[in-house]
Structure 1
Amino acid sequence: MNVIVKLVFYLTQIWFFLCFMLFTALHVIDGTVLGGTAILPCHVTNINDDLTQITWQRKTRENPHNDNFITIQPRNGLQFVNGRDDRFKYIGNFNNRNGTLQLSNVALKDEGSYTCIFTLFPSGNQKIEIPLNLLVPPFTSVMDNLPTLGTEEVLFATCTAAGSKPPAEVRWLTDALGDKVRTTKNSTQYDNGTTTTVSSLFGVPTRKINGHQVQCVISGDSLSAEETLAFTIQVYSISEDSFECVTEANPNSLLESAVKVDGANLQLLSLTSDLNGLYQCEASNAYGSKHGQLYVHVTSGTCRVAWALFLVLLSLNVGAAAWYFYKSGRFKRYFEQ
């Protein structure tokens, strides 16, 4: 008799252990992208006990305490506890002992652990835990540091993968540049679980390195494929043939009729006193500028021409008279008297 009792006892223990293994499960929800839709599966099979209620608990970044937030009953359906959140939708079937939820527009605050609890009679409560881990793709960019021609090592550019989860991998492909450039990398992790990774490209800004193309490659679990950002190294300098010359004069209203600008050349179409003033030429690019000034002073055009003509005629008359007196011998007789 005692042997039979012990046998029944051991069989009962084995049965409870098997039930525990059946009902206490761990489903890891990995790969849900920020802003996407997550499915939280929860169901039991091969159980004939009566199901009276399904309860959902959660422990998330927003709510660090493990609290009930949803109950599902055969008559009342889904009921929210401590606040409604319409992003959750019950897509299971109570009669089939399926408590699966759908969560849309997933945010970082939702990341955490979700527990599905079946209330069964007579066996009692059975639990299934579902950790929810999010993937957050990074915001990627390459920024030119605008280096100018020189002989010392400077920063050429930075490549950034911002706010990713898990951290993204950032690297430079520099092709044939070899040891002419070097790279560094650093990461910053934030309280919300995201990480920003920055890789910097350094080198000596020479004319030979100017125009070389490199690539920043960003990869990670949050990206469906590697992302490649092309970048052309630009070494900036100030040269005489790279300026644009702009002329300014006062008054400006005369420029259209009396002044012509052809490239960097300024032509004064008519020399009148109306054009008197200071003319300034500015040559500039993004990295420097040069200035030149010209002061123009013209007397009255009519007077100037008249006086010039008078002096020319006077010179011709005086010269002709002197030549005539010299040839006729009158100069000599005049001075001999």
Structure 2
Amino acid sequence: KRPIECLRFLFFSFTLNHKLTGDFLEPVEPDVTQHSMTETQTRLPCHYEVKEGEQVVQVTWNKILPNGDKDLIIMAHFTDGLTAFGRYSGRVKFENNVPTRNSALLILKTEVSDEGSYNCKISTFPRGNFERNINLEVWSAPISEVVPETLVEDQPHGLVATCRATGRPAPILSWDTDLQGESQFLVSGSGTVSSQFSLKPLRSMNGKKLDCLVSHPSLEKPRRISHNLVVQYPPDPSISSPFVLWQSGMEKAELMCEDKGNPEPLSITWKRKGGELPDGVSMTGKKLTFDRALRLNDSGAYECEVTNAVGTRKTTYVISVITETGTPDNMLVIIIGAAAGAAVLMLIVVVLLVRRHHRKTTKSFHWKGLILRI
């Protein structure tokens, strides 16, 4: 082994103060920058083109620390084989089974801590050392979410939703919406960025689009986080019926109480103004159903009261049950009374006309008698 050791000594003595410029197939430039994603394999290129009569005897990869020191990662010697050092053991390897031919380095599972500057040093005989520096920037795909606030109409102007994202480098956030509001961009110490969207909530805004767009160098196009604004407001009930005429004897008559409030009702209650609900009536959710034939005394004002998490509102529907002939019972009274009144009025008019005619006849007779006596 002594001749070999002497050869190594002479070689390194020669190259100690001689850094020559050789030909690299990759990277071509002496200093390059590349990007890699966390949790993926990273390839750091280093391929030296051997000249005729030249031999690569050793390849060394180092990470250059912030203070300028070098942290030895892995080394391959043309006779002694290869060795990975310290925390890099098991995390890195040469891409080629013969590192002295192609010296590209593989980081098997890239971490944020792998970001930094790397140096590939090719030691040749007899020409000396050749180097390449690679600056590695480690990116991490953004993790993002939209966090909504609980909103009730007529609240003061304030925060309605927050879009948060964490990534390397920091993502850029924006909002895609037709809502007229204000956004504020914030950066936390942990590297998380957020955008807050504020406005005064109105019920007309419920369900409107408020999407967050996350832009990042690792994404081909902005990532869209779909979100629709949710605004709560009290019930807005209305009562309807499939029937136009409510006729006594009619079967399966019903009222329907519809509600446009948000959120969904907690309860729907039916009442009859001025008294209890008639017998033979059932309540099933939004429906008030007459389970028997309608009666004239079912007429009245029916009230639907709706309650949700925001408040309580009610509305009224008036039912007027008519007879089978098509005349409401109260209208019969009115018509009969009107007919009787008209008959009395006509009788009075006839009496007055007769008396007037009688008076005129009497005056004419007396006047004529007076003329005859003269």
Q: TM-score, normalised by structure 1?
A: 0.60
- 1:126, distance to aligned residue in structure 2 (A): 2.1
Quote the Cα distance in structure 2 between the aligned partners of 1:82 and 1:229. Answer: 42
1:171 equivalent to 2:174? Answer: yes
1:29 equivalent to 2:34? Answer: yes
The match for 2:235 among 236, 239, 248 is 239
Alignment of structure 1 residues 1-337 onto 2, 5 Å: 19-20=20-21, 22=23, 25-30=30-35, 32-47=36-51, 48-59=53-64, 65-83=69-87, 85-92=89-96, 94=98, 97-160=101-164, 162-175=165-178, 177=179, 180-190=180-190, 195-239=191-235, 242-245=264-267, 263=285
- 1:288, distance to aligned residue in structure 2 (A): 7.2
Quote the Cα distance in structure 2 between the aligned partners of 1:76 and 1:226. Answer: 50
Quote the Cα distance in structure 1 between the aligned partners of 2:163 and 2:136. Answer: 30
**Structure 1 216/151 Cα, relative in aligned 2: closer, same or farther at 3 Å?**
same
Structure 1 alignment gaps of length 5 or more: 1-15, 247-259, 266-282, 290-337
- 1:64, distance to aligned residue in structure 2 (A): 8.3
- 1:243, distance to aligned residue in structure 2 (A): 3.3
- 1:78, distance to aligned residue in structure 2 (A): 2.2
Structure 2 counterpart of 1:114, which letter? Y
- 1:40, distance to aligned residue in structure 2 (A): 0.9
1:133-176 per-residue CA deviation (whole Å, 9 max, x = no partner) reads: 1121111111111111215202111111x22111211111222x
**Structure 1 49/159 Cα, relative in aligned 2: closer, same or farther at 3 Å?**
same
**Structure 1 284/183 Cα, relative in aligned 2: closer, same or farther at 3 Å?**
same
1:223-262 per-residue CA deviation (whole Å, 9 max, x = no partner) reads: 232111222111113438643249xxxxxxxxxxxxx995
Question: CA RMSD, aligned part only?
Answer: 3.5
**Structure 1 95/54 Cα, relative in aligned 2: closer, same or farther at 3 Å?**
closer
Quote the Cα distance in structure 1 between the aligned partners of 2:283 and 2:204. Answer: 36
Q: Work out whether residues 245 and 264 of structure 1, in 8 Å CA contact, stay in contact via their aligned partners in 2.
A: no
- 1:111, distance to aligned residue in structure 2 (A): 1.0
- 1:22, distance to aligned residue in structure 2 (A): 4.2
Aligned counterpart, 2:325: none
Quote the Cα distance in structure 1 between the aligned partners of 2:153 and 2:121. Answer: 68
**Structure 1 92/288 Cα, relative in aligned 2: closer, same or farther at 3 Å?**
farther
Q: Work out whether residues 60 and 111 of structure 1, in 8 Å CA contact, stay in contact via their aligned partners in 2.
A: no
1:138 alignment partner, SS class: strand
Give 1 or 2 for the bigger CA radius of gyration: 2
Q: Work out whether residues 60 and 110 of structure 1, in 8 Å CA contact, stay in contact via their aligned partners in 2.
A: no
Structure 1 counterpart of 2:187, which letter? S
**Structure 1 286/115 Cα, relative in aligned 2: closer, same or farther at 3 Å?**
farther
Aligned counterpart, 1:7: none
Quote the Cα distance in structure 2 between the aligned partners of 1:222 and 1:216. Answer: 17
- 1:58, distance to aligned residue in structure 2 (A): 1.1
Structure 2 counterpart of 1:174, which letter? T
Structure 2 alignment gaps of length 5 or more: 1-17, 237-258, 269-281, 288-305, 313-374
Question: When you count helix as a share of all residues, which structure comes out higher?
Answer: 1
Quote the Cα distance in structure 1 between the aligned partners of 2:31 and 2:231. Answer: 57
**Structure 1 112/209 Cα, relative in aligned 2: closer, same or farther at 3 Å?**
same
- 1:287, distance to aligned residue in structure 2 (A): 5.3
1:232 alignment partner, SS class: coil
2:170 alignment partner, SS class: coil
**Structure 1 42/95 Cα, relative in aligned 2: closer, same or farther at 3 Å?**
closer
**Structure 1 286/105 Cα, relative in aligned 2: closer, same or farther at 3 Å?**
farther
Q: Work out whether residues 147 and 155 of structure 1, in 8 Å CA contact, stay in contact via their aligned partners in 2.
A: no
Quote the Cα distance in structure 1 between the aligned partners of 2:57 and 2:135. Answer: 25
Q: Work out whether residues 147 and 154 of structure 1, in 8 Å CA contact, stay in contact via their aligned partners in 2.
A: no
Among all aligned residue pairs of Structure 1 and Structure 2, give the percentage whose two residues are the same amino acid: 25
1:83-122 per-residue CA deviation (whole Å, 9 max, x = no partner) reads: 4532312113647632111112211011111111122233
Structure 2 counterpart of 1:27, which letter? V
1:3-57 per-residue CA deviation (whole Å, 9 max, x = no partner) reads: xxxxxxxxxxxxx89x426478223222x11111111111221534332211111
**Structure 1 95/140 Cα, relative in aligned 2: closer, same or farther at 3 Å?**
closer
